[in-house]
Structure 1
Amino acid sequence: MKKIFFIAAMSFIFTMASAQNNVDFEIADGLSNATLKTRMELQVSRLLTAINTAESNGGNVNFSGIDIDDMASHSIVMLWENVRFRTLDDEVVTNCLRLGGGQSDSWQVRNIEVEMKPLDDTYKGNKIQEVSIDFDKNGRIVDFNFTLGINQYMRIMKEGVELDDLDRRMQILHYVEQFRNAYNQKDIDFMDAVFSEDALIITGKVIRRVPNELQIRSNRPEIQYTKQSKQQYLANLKRVFARNGYVNVKFDEIKVLRHGANPNFYGVTLVQHWNSSNYSDEGILFLVWNFENPDAPQINVRTWQPMETPDDEVFTLDNFKI
């Protein structure tokens, strides 16, 4: 009798634990194809449930029964090696977006809130984040990224409507989010692909000097700049990845500006919050994105400047010959 009771109790506990991991996902608007909508909802429900189950069990995400391509599953695996996460809610309702430009046959759902579950107490940064999931035209999951907040995203989309380049701005934000996730995943291969071979990479740092009696004090910081090639930057980044158990990069205060003479080039200015096991900082990141090949845009310029940089010294498109 005791054995039967024990088995029944364990079965109940297991059932309750499993139920706590289950996620019901629903697309509220943005997709009229009922068959495709049902398929995408099912795939996301299964994926989020698998992620919650892996976090609860302390294991790896089991992708069986989920229609997900190798790139997307690899992205999740790489993230999982650095930090775990789970959904905040067991019922998730959001809208569906059709991605523009070269991805006109693909779809995306956003604003899925997750709670970060660090592997140790060295983790720094916001523990509540949002993810997006991309699908191909058949409803297969093809990408998984941590994303910008909804307010920033909608502001940039509104600017796109006003300037008649909404599709391109959707592309830009999509690739900026992939760029951010490449840092978090320590994905050197993505970095190698996204930077053009002749990319210009500039990093600034504030020089702290003790003035002598003859020097006039200035409120403007002295900033020293270092220029790197793509190969030098990637080699240094690879060493940074190796030294840190995790990397958590977040972007905010994003501004997107189209080049006046060449509409295939965009300048993206944002504040980068870098947190890792051994180092943290904040700085102003500026990227020049080249969309001459809309299916494989590249970064031609990357600059990083300290937050103390005066506004009139922050890099823009005007500083570079395009």
Structure 2
Amino acid sequence: MMTMRTYLFMAILFFSGWFAIGTNAQEVSVTITTDEGYSNPPIIEKMQYNLSQVLSEINRAQKENRPLNTVGLALEPFARESLTMLWANVHFYCDDTEVVERCWVFDDGKEYMVSHIPLIIKVQGEDFGNGTYQEAVVDFDQQGQIKDFRFSLGAVGESLKNCGTVAKAERQIKILSYCERFRTAYNQKDINFLRQIFSDDALIITGSAVSVKSGENRYDNKVKVTYKKQDKQEYLANLQRAFARNKWIDVKFSQIGDNGEQGGCPGITQSQINPNMYGVRLRQEWKSTNYSDTGYIFLLWDFADEDNPVIHVRTWQPEWVGGVQQQPDDAISTLGAFDL
């Protein structure tokens, strides 16, 4: 026969277990991975912790159907406002208790970006849209603070494996004609055309090869690719300076074939998520008085307006790194890399 003390002890165990399930079930742990050439455990740990705290608060707020409590979260003012505005329109939660995602490192650690964060939409008082899968993108500063929290353009599972559908021949011709106009604008230094062709929210990512000393012996130096992210205004401002420095800039594009370079994604593909979106991978040669390079360029075109298409994303990576020829990196040169 159980004594009162036994009943009390069992009750404490039961309620403790229930409380743990009720709270820990919403907690989200985050693991961030980086390229092999980058190592900064303290900043990575900060980003993991800060993103974990935000996702966990999102889950608690969604479950309790209340406003987000952003007090104490490592959110810069813009990110706080962005997240609050999203929450005012629709609630969502992270269905994964463990999130493992790759981090893009820009400007040797001045800025970081983590994408493909899985979310489930939970519309208040509506059936439409409930359960929709959506991915988020988070930007961090060099202290690991969250600079921005936004929804991605679209979302598909295993997105980096998604090349898209090979575009029809007629569409390929039209896209290539716009690519030629785009290329010619660099030759002509036509900054006004470039201002029109890039969308206001355009993302520009540029990779460059840099030497990294791996030991005391200078011959032990290795070469890695670092990435720099710019918005439309930054990119155009830098481009104008390049135009001013060089009397002539010779830019040439060559197509990447239907089978990619080495069996990768084809050169021109149509999004399976948004049929107005097309990804174009090209080999670019840039020659000018002060600088020359060869690399792979990826353009994300939006043909929602047939007569006025715009570019949402432009990425570039070097073809040669440390004397070794590279192939286009699917992580920044496919529709799937941008959730399309």
TM-score normalised by length of structure 2: 0.46
Whose helix proportion is higher, 1 or 2? 1
- Bigger Cα Rg: 2
Higher relative contact order (CA 8 A, sep 6+): 2
TM-score between both structures, scaled by the size of structure 1: 0.48
